[in-house]
Structure 1
Amino acid sequence: MSKGELTRKVLSDLISESETPYTPDSILREFRATDDKRLSVDELVGILKTISQKRPNCDEVAAEVKQVLKSKDPMYALLVFVKRYSEDCLTPRSSLKNSEMATVTTPLQTKSSIGASSVPRTSLAEGSHDSLGLPTSTPVVNRKSDSGANAAGRSQGNREEDRELGDLSLMRERLLLGASNRSLSTFRPPPTEKSLKSSSQKTLVNPPSAPPPTGVPEESRTHSLWDFNDVDGNSALDPEIAALPIESQQNELLTQLLYCFTGIRVPCIVPIPPDPSGGLSSYKTEFAIHNQVDRSLAELVRKILPLASYFVGIQRMVADLDGQGQVINALNAALTDVSHDFYLLLMQAEDELERNELTMQKLVYYMQPTLWVMEEIWTTMFGLQQGELRGAAVLTHLHGRIKRLEGDREAQKVIIGLMGKAAEPYMRMLQLWIQKGVIVDRQQEFLVEDYEEVHCNQLPEHYSDGYWEKRYTLRRDHIPSFLEKYSDKILRTGKYLNVVRQCGKRVMPTQQMHLEYDPTSEQHVSVINEAYYFAARMLLDVLLAENDLMGHLQSVKRYLLLNQGDFTMQFMDACEDELSKNVDLVLPMTLENLLGLTLRISSARDDPYKDHLHCELLPYDLVTQMSKIIKEDNKEEYWQTQDRLDLSGLECFAFSYEVKWPVSLVLNHLAISKYQMLFRQLFYCKHVERQLCKIWKENSIAKKFSPQAAELYRSAFTLRQRMMNAIQNLEYYMMIEIIEPNWHIFIEKMQAVENVDNVLQLHQDFIDSCLKNCMLSESSHLNRAIFKLCKICLKFCDFIQLETSLDPADTFSERVKRFDLEFTGILISFLQKINIMAKKNTADRFINLVHRINYNGFYTDLMDKLCMKDALG
């Protein structure tokens, strides 16, 4: 006796016994009603208590059913009620015992209801009862639900707490079995001829077994669950189907089609074994229709059979892709919801079939839109499976499918729904990043990667140099196509918030954000933009207002670019003797003390950031430092100290400027090093100028000499004046024509800055422009020429100052001539190189220096001769 028949018989006997005005159908209707139409628990229990009032255990059974109704499915509660009385008077005990031996205990719970199902999907009652029907050899029984018309899987006398699994196959059975009193699983077709049996029946090799301790059978997560297995009860064969009237044949085919749609093998529609090579055949099934089926019916069946192939193929791919990341898992969950809707459609079709209102033409009409949608879902999923797409690549694939479905509204609507669900975990990560600057990405699917290696309170000396560029980077292959245009903005938003948070400030968005994928309104774009502007404004306020970035930049310019003239001269007066020593003999503490003294007696005493300035003795000269910083591939070498060369303190001296986070983000170690390069060149030229000024005193002494002796010194002092002219014009060019104009441009642009990236870019452009036009960038040969000019000037000064007595006239004059020839040769070569570079790049300002030094054309003829010489080889 089937479950439906047993339920009706028990209810009919109790109604007759109690003489109440109910019918089995009316009671079943009340227990199957949806949530909004269902009677209350007390009313349902009242009905059952009324029809069983003459039974001695009426109150005990009613109390048990009421307890079940509070947390379980009403249909299950009804089956508990029927079971209690079927055990008492309807079912022989021996029959029950044999039934128990043939069933498997599966204490499962179902997933919460989604959609307007006519059968509520709730968890099972605590307790165990004998199976009422569906054999365990079907694929769906592996994840069996004890609801409605299926209370199988409970062993008698045992009560244990249910586990909620909510698997798709479990829901498949619940929805199919709970739709009507004659569910698909109760169908038992009569036997057919042996010839039909060999072509249509496929039996399970392994006998059913109890689930593992977790309650989840191992095979339930593989796509073998969807391999069109035989169902006990379908193993019996049909009679000659051609002998049936056309209407009966149609009803038989409709019933079998409903089986086939859910992946169960039926006699008249046999799946063709797939190609063992895999590929497309692993997820697409072809069918053979029994040759005795009416031709017109067979044609209609062929039209709709692809729906079974697509649906089962989708379930196989879902099982294969399970656990491949958050995005895939979210997509699988969304496909489960689509499957629920498909089951509801099958329930409606089965309901019409029960009322003899369903024909094959109607079923084709009902299922045609679903067929198109399922085909699109199958195509989409197959693309994911074949491309082995994960994470953002899945979202890109789905986004592309949505665009290609313009015109197919229903299919596009379904893919948009899948896309929205699949994008939820990715959008949650994105929202957390742009709201708080935090990355939670255990599956490594997010577009931003954090390369943090040390904690903020353990920053190395030059940590800030690479922080902005290297700490957070984009994974280009992890960016969904619909976020590609905004990826840089997303990266900067989180970086800004990170800096703000590391400054000890709370990151509180101005308004609550909700980020989700919407291809029509693109609401996510406005959310990203709002978060970006909020983070940019917040960090700018922290840098410019709270930490006075511009004040620090003004101090750097004042000291490292020699903008504080009186301080520079007083410091050089105080430290000249100390810096003239070999670098290994210079005492840093002495320099620090002299610096502090000079700062407090000069006009710099009012500077609030003067204590950030310190003295530093670098282990290399300017040319070496420049080569280390300019070469990108040797950046690491910059931080490695080397043995000091035989250098003076003056050649190794530089100011350093120390700042704290977050100002160090802009004035980082590399930026300070570039400022030091400018300082060292300016400071060295200023020192040469001072030495040339000192020998002017010798010029005044020479006036007292005899005319013959004075004539000897005249050429020397003429050479001194030419040297002074070259050095002073070089200083003027660098400080007045390069640094000052670039500084004013930088300050003007800073007034309209919108984010920290603009600040960093403008500051870098300012420093690089100064370095380039001061001949401290790739034109290192010009810098070496300047260094040689300064060296020859210092040697000349030493020669004049150390000449204590007049040597023979020819000796002194010859030495002066040698200095003159050497200086003139270096200067002419220097000016010639500038002319050549100016012709190649007219944007550079080097040519201005030529006009300044050669203002009266004194060196023009010499340069022309040099050009002629070079041309002749």
Structure 2
Amino acid sequence: MQGLVRSLVCSELPDLAEQDANALFLRIFQQLSSAPGGGAAEDAAVEELIAQHLRGLRKSDRGLDRHLRFQGLKNRLPSESRGNRSSVLALLFLLRGDPYAGETRSPQYFTHRGRSEPKESGASKASDPTVRTVYMGWQLSAGAGGPPTELPEAKLVRDLLFALQGVSSDCFKLDGSFEVDPAVILSRPAWVVSQKVLELATLHARLSNQASAEGLLQQALCEALRQQLQDYYEMLALLMSRKLTLRSLWSWLLAPRARLGFLATLSEATRQGVFGGAVASTVVAFAQSGDLEVQKAATRILASVVRPLLAMIRAWMTEGELQDPFGEFFVVAASVPLQDLWTRMYRLELEMVPSFLSLDLARKILLTGKSVNFIRLCCPGQVWSSTGKEATTEFDLTEIREPQEGQEGPASSGLLRGLAERVESAAQRTNEHLVRLLMDKYALGEHALALRRFLLLGQGDFVESLMDALQEELNAEADTIHRHHLMGFLDMALRQSNAQFCPADVLARLGVKLLSPSAGERGWDIFLLDYSIDAPLHVVFTPAAMQKYERTFAFLWKLRRVSHALAASWSQHMTLQRHLSFLGKAAAAPATAFSVLHRFSCLRHQLQHFVQNIQSYVMFEVLDTSWAKLQAGWRSCTDLDEVISQHDRYLVSIEEGAFLAQGCESVLSGITTLLALALDFCHLHDQACAASFEAAEAMEEAEEEDVGSVFQVLRSQPFARSLAECRAQLDGVASSFSMKLQQLLQSLEEQPELRVLDFSFLCCRLDFNGYYERQADSPAGP
């Protein structure tokens, strides 16, 4: 065999010096006569070394092509030669004839890796016969062309421990993640185990070197993750003090590998655009895992993450302050005027609400802080201070409990037990204080009653006195009326009615408002009563609410004007009738005069029936019912939002009942047209009465014995023409009234069911005996 090996060396390397040829022969023979190869791991190591050598050749030597050819030839080796593959490949590599195969490429590193280090002397053998050094691969020399050195297992384990601490070493380099140094060639088993350990080292490096994030919750999360690594560092300190093999090291790392994997996953999940309360929601999602260990770790992390959030909640609910330097809180403020504090200044950022807070609870937190700021900024002289044990209780995490085996996780069983109770207690205390403040100190109910008395015409004696005083003034052209002039009539009406006993603050707020006049309008069309509202009542009686009061006042004022005008026409009619009877000559009057007056009286009764039913329906069934509901609702209110909501519902019910809501335009138009016809009737009645009084005065001047003179007066051309014109116009008004009322009844029947009242009862009252229905069915007129 020696001869064959020597002849092979001489034939393959004929130019090699004799001394070098002998040294090479000895090493090859030592390789061939050594123990069997290490199987697949040894084959992989040798193949890797050869492939690395071929890839390192210069381009002129076609290293890449040689590497590909080597891979193809290797795969074509017969299966029966696989047992000696490493020896065959090592022998072929030693006999390579490239210009880089020199002394520097010593083949000594091809000795079997599973064997013990050769004993150098008897002294060393006697000193420690049990010592057995195990090699895991080779490490190429740093200098060009230097021989590779064997890599002991102890050095490999030491470098792995360095990597687990985040430190680069000879074997492993950190460049984003830990990788095996290109100069290190490991056996297949060592490489597999090292890669698993390096995965753990990379996870640790990412956790420990993550950039400091902006935001209190992100910073708290980073600190919690670092706290979770303390057990990992203690384990590494223990491992550094022990002599470990590669297998024992991996067995020690199995438990922390799962922990670090969870921490790394959590860290990555909270980096992808997650901010504010969403960070806590992400941790809560991990706390709902079915793994009990993951639940415990996530709960401990959550205990740190939510502390800044709970501090923000406490500051907002007790002091009304937004301690949110990074914009992480789910309550955000807008820059708006102070008068819009309640409606527009603060709002919820739904994306920032953590998952362990329900939306209803988040709204209570928002409402409580708004109430504190409203008391401080919109209630003059009021200072809100949180006192008492409940108010100063910190929103700590003493109620967070680690999940026990067989129980649900903390997120699904009440993550922060007691937080909801503390929030509701603080909200109830603050909101009830604000409601009491508005009702007692600022007399919210008293001002609402004043609006009902004056703007909704609930104070009847005041309304009649005001209408009597303003009758002449409001009949004038709209552009000739001045507000300061009307204020004097308003003060007079207040002193003449029981309204004078209202509180002085209420009377001081009452005033007159004139709309911008248009061509042809009278004072009746632009006149409105006004009621001054200031803070903090402006949050309930908003400008939009006051506009609804003004619209309702305009409608009711028109109703009362028509009712007052009809009453005045009746009084005028009665006066004329008594006057004629006192003259004793009524029997001498022609029948046409009596028929005209009788026709006026019949139509006035129809108009009064219509106006009184509309007025009674609005005043009693709409206003009184709505007011009773408002009073009952306010007594049960627990926060300002409910107070505002009850008042809004009150106005909505008034609008719907008074035909001012959307969808009732046809009804309102019909009623307005009928009221205009009633005013036309009153004007026509005034003309007829004026003509009759003129005729009566002429009759008084005629001699009593001259009956012919009396008849001549009654049959005079002006008086007869006036009565004929009035009768013709009266017939037109009566026909229009009948037709418009029939259309109104039809519109009321066609109205959809509203949320407040049903118009069917009003239809029954307006046509209780079916008179207008029969007129509608009859082809002829009335």
- Normalised to the residue count of structure 2, the TM-score between the two structures is 0.69
- Among 675, 689, 707, which residue is 2:549 paired with? 675
1:326 aligns with 2:222: no
Q: Note the C-alpha offset of 1:843.
A: 6.0
1:423 aligns with 2:333: no
Contact 2:667 2:744 in 1 (8 A): yes
Distance 1:582 1:330, change over 3 A: farther
1:499 aligns with 2:412: no
- Among 297, 305, 318, which residue is 1:414 paired with? 297
Deviations 1:59-94 (A, max 9, x none): xxxxxxxxxxxxxxxxxxxxxxxxxxxxxxxxxxxx
**Secondary structure of 1:398's partner?**
helix
1:848 aligns with 2:761: yes
Equivalent AA in structure 2 for residue 257 of structure 1: L
**Equivalent residues in 2 for 1:184-195, closer than 5 Å:** 195=140
1:394 aligns with 2:279: yes
Aligned equivalents of 1:478, 1:719: Cα separation in 2: 69
Contact 1:197 1:267 in 2 (8 A): no
- Among 762, 765, 768, which residue is 2:652 paired with? 768
Q: Note the C-alpha offset of 1:782.
A: 1.9
Q: Note the C-alpha offset of 1:286.
A: 6.1
Partner of 1:220: none
**Equivalent residues in 2 for 1:535-550, closer than 5 Å:** 535-550=430-445
Deviations 1:260-305 (A, max 9, x none): 113323333456x7xxxxxxxx6x6665899865665555444433
Deviations 1:714-767 (A, max 9, x none): 222211111111111100000011111121122123222222211111111111
- Among 443, 448, 453, which residue is 2:336 paired with? 453
1:831 aligns with 2:711: no
**Equivalent residues in 2 for 1:462-477, closer than 5 Å:** 463=339, 466-477=340-351
- Among 238, 263, 283, which residue is 1:377 paired with? 263
Partner of 2:235: 345
**Secondary structure of 2:494's partner?**
helix
Q: Which runs of 5+ in 1 are unaligned?
A: 1-189, 200-235, 274-281, 457-462, 621-642
Distance 1:195 1:618, change over 3 A: farther
Partner of 1:49: none
Partner of 1:651: 525
Q: Note the C-alpha offset of 1:711.
A: 0.7
Contact 2:456 2:553 in 1 (8 A): yes
Partner of 1:710: 594
**Secondary structure of 1:333's partner?**
helix
1:557 aligns with 2:452: yes
Aligned equivalents of 1:619, 1:648: Cα separation in 2: 11
1:252 aligns with 2:155: yes
Contact 1:828 1:863 in 2 (8 A): yes
Partner of 2:673: 788
Q: Which runs of 5+ in 2 are unaligned?
A: 1-134, 401-409, 581-585, 692-718
Distance 1:791 1:257, change over 3 A: same
Aligned equivalents of 1:587, 1:816: Cα separation in 2: 35
**Equivalent residues in 2 for 1:351-366, closer than 5 Å:** 352-353=241-242, 356=243, 358-366=244-252
**Secondary structure of 2:637's partner?**
coil
Aligned equivalents of 1:431, 1:362: Cα separation in 2: 51
**Equivalent residues in 2 for 1:223-242, closer than 5 Å:** 239-241=149-151
Contact 1:238 1:267 in 2 (8 A): no
**Equivalent residues in 2 for 1:38-53, closer than 5 Å:** none
Partner of 1:261: 164
Deviations 1:498-550 (A, max 9, x none): 11112222231433121246444433322222221121121112112222221
RMSD: 3.0
Deviations 1:794-831 (A, max 9, x none): 12211221343334354332211111112222221111
Aligned equivalents of 1:849, 1:746: Cα separation in 2: 23
- Among 513, 536, 549, which residue is 2:393 paired with? 513
Larger radius of gyration: 2
Partner of 2:707: none
**How many aligned residue pairs are there?**
583
Equivalent AA in structure 2 for residue 770 of structure 1: I
Partner of 2:729: 815
**Equivalent residues in 2 for 1:608-757, closer than 5 Å:** 608=503, 609-619=505-515, 644=518, 646-700=520-574, 701-702=576-577, 704=580, 705=586, 706=589, 707-757=591-641
**Secondary structure of 2:385's partner?**
coil
Equivalent AA in structure 1 for residue 222 of structure 2: N
Aligned equivalents of 2:629, 2:756: Cα separation in 1: 16
Aligned equivalents of 2:141, 2:303: Cα separation in 1: 47
**Secondary structure of 1:552's partner?**
helix
Contact 1:750 1:759 in 2 (8 A): yes
Partner of 2:429: 534
1:487 aligns with 2:384: no
Aligned equivalents of 1:240, 1:285: Cα separation in 2: 22
Deviates more, 1:361-370 or 1:820-829: 361-370
Aligned equivalents of 1:613, 1:680: Cα separation in 2: 19
Aligned equivalents of 1:293, 1:566: Cα separation in 2: 108
Q: Note the C-alpha offset of 1:865.
A: 6.5
**Secondary structure of 1:845's partner?**
coil
**Secondary structure of 1:240's partner?**
strand
Aligned equivalents of 2:447, 2:148: Cα separation in 1: 93
Equivalent AA in structure 1 for residue 219 of structure 2: N
Contact 1:445 1:478 in 2 (8 A): yes
**Secondary structure of 1:390's partner?**
coil
Deviations 1:312-332 (A, max 9, x none): 12245x21xx34333222222
- Among 487, 491, 504, which residue is 1:596 paired with? 491
Distance 1:612 1:267, change over 3 A: same
Contact 1:834 1:847 in 2 (8 A): yes
Aligned equivalents of 1:690, 1:300: Cα separation in 2: 103
Equivalent AA in structure 1 for residue 427 of structure 2: Y
Distance 1:842 1:303, change over 3 A: closer
Equivalent AA in structure 2 for residue 783 of structure 1: L
Distance 1:538 1:362, change over 3 A: farther
- Normalised to the residue count of structure 1, the TM-score between the two structures is 0.62
Distance 1:679 1:568, change over 3 A: same
Distance 1:593 1:440, change over 3 A: farther
**Secondary structure of 1:533's partner?**
helix
Deviations 1:405-452 (A, max 9, x none): 23x233322222333323333322222111122223332222112123
Equivalent AA in structure 2 for residue 712 of structure 1: V
1:335 aligns with 2:213: no
Aligned equivalents of 1:582, 1:359: Cα separation in 2: 110
**Secondary structure of 1:616's partner?**
strand
Equivalent AA in structure 1 for residue 262 of structure 2: E
Partner of 2:81: none
Contact 2:487 2:511 in 1 (8 A): yes
Aligned equivalents of 1:576, 1:546: Cα separation in 2: 39
1:578 aligns with 2:498: no
**Secondary structure of 1:723's partner?**
helix
Partner of 1:164: none
**Secondary structure of 2:771's partner?**
coil
Contact 1:753 1:759 in 2 (8 A): yes
Deviations 1:165-222 (A, max 9, x none): xxxxxxxxxxxxxxxxxxxxxxxxx9x97736599xxxxxxxxxxxxxxxxxxxxxxx
**Secondary structure of 1:423's partner?**
helix
**Secondary structure of 2:600's partner?**
helix
Deviations 1:38-58 (A, max 9, x none): xxxxxxxxxxxxxxxxxxxxx
Distance 1:416 1:742, change over 3 A: same
Equivalent AA in structure 2 for residue 313 of structure 1: R
